[in-house]
Structure 1
Amino acid sequence: MAQLLEAAATVFTTSGYNGASTNAIAREAGVSPGTLYQFFPNKEAIAVELGNRLTHRWRETYGAAFVHSHLELPLDRMLDAILDPLIAFNCENPAFAVLTHGSEIPGVISQEHDALHETMLTRTEELISGYLPDLPADRVTRIADTAFVVFKSGLDLVMAHNGPERQAYIAELKAVMYGYLHPLARTRPAGATAHDTDTP
């Protein structure tokens, strides 16, 4: 099953969900279509199983990234601690993006993605609230919404490139996030890390 799912991830990434077929997945896995059908009745079942496994790993990844202990770090290091694992996961699992975007994706995956989106947005808001505790709740919500959209858009650029260019876009994404959040850090309480309230 693991062999088939790995092959499916490759085929979904290269061909898209609509362009993928069970025959192509079986061929990529080096097995006969009959062997594939012993494990999965159709392409949708493969996508759902792969989507479930990737979603579980994604939850573990952002769960480890969005922790309050990162609030003790200087802003640049905090961004590294939060963004690096999220970016790495998506770069290492490009099929995750394929299986969480598009109207043709099986409904159960889309529903799970919507729930993930809401959870991540909530965690982002909690982190921003912890980082900037003196700001009113409505401002925190706007900042979290903006930061989340900036990250998602920047991630699309990162995923569209490889090698040195990908690293360059990661640096640009972090620079944008730092430039947005750093001025807000001046509102932090007196006990905040000095680095966060210094001029870069």
Structure 2
Amino acid sequence: MPAKTEKPGNEQPRRRQARGERRIAQLLEAAASVFCTTGYTAASTNAIAREAGVSPGTLYQFFPNKEAIAIELGERLMHEMRQTYGEALAPIDPATPLEEAIGAAVDRFIDFNCRHPVFFTLMHGSDVPGRMAEEHDALHATLISRVEALLSPFLTDTPEADVRRTAQVCVGIYKAGLELVLTHEGAEREAYIQELKNVLIRYLDPLVVD
């Protein structure tokens, strides 16, 4: 009896895995749209499935509930956000003007948040799932440390506690301004971005040691 010709054993599993990843990405994209439109609390798995163009049963093959979807989406965005921290708040040449340093950092963060508006929805809502809230706290602490490192070359001889306080104020100003930026589009959005930069520069300029 002739031997059967067999396909490589891992070909089908790879294809199934690729299809599964595409489906997960589709569901996460749909969830981001629904969360931005309705908020996390009002969102439902049925609405997410409808937005994705699949049945609720298909959604449940990948996620048991809405919280699991939000956590997966949040973790992926946090990973990308950490990369943004590294790019936006990398050490700079001490000779770099304050305005240039602040402008570059703000542009990087604004770009991330405008590309992923759901990040703001999930991270700053009052109804964020517990696990995500813990991750956000860790991310916030990392951000403060990175901003401190960015500011240190400009605040030479300033006590460490004062630099940290200044970093916290800068992050608070940014978050407040970000909400305004995200609620506008086009030229008006650009105007708010510039206002945000102006506020940060005017706050920091008197503190800079020449």
> TM-score scaled to structure 1, two decimals?
0.88
Q: Which has the larger radius of gyration?
A: 2
Are residue 115 (structure 1) and residue 115 (structure 2) matched? no
Are residue 130 (structure 1) and residue 153 (structure 2) matched? yes
> Structure 1, residues 69-128: CA drift from partner, whole Å, max 9, x if none?
254422221112211010111111111111112332211100000111111111112221
**How many matched pairs?**
187
Match of 2:179 in 1: 156
Distance 2:49 2:25 in 1: 12
Equivalence map 1:36-185=2 (5 Å):
36-69=59-92, 71-185=94-208
Distance 1:59 1:177 in 2: 22
Whose helix proportion is higher, 1 or 2?
1
Show structure 1 runs of 5+ residues with no match.
189-200
> Structure 1, residues 114-167: CA drift from partner, whole Å, max 9, x if none?
111111111112221222222222322232222121111111111121221111
| Matched position secondary structure for 1:77 | helix
Taking a change above 3 Å as real, the CA distance of residues 6 and 70 of structure 1, as seen in their structure-2 partners, is: farther
Match of 1:2 in 2: 25
> TM-score scaled to structure 2, two decimals?
0.84
Show structure 2 runs of 5+ residues with no match.
1-23
- Where does structure 1 differ by over 6 angstroms across 4 or more consecutive aligned residues? none
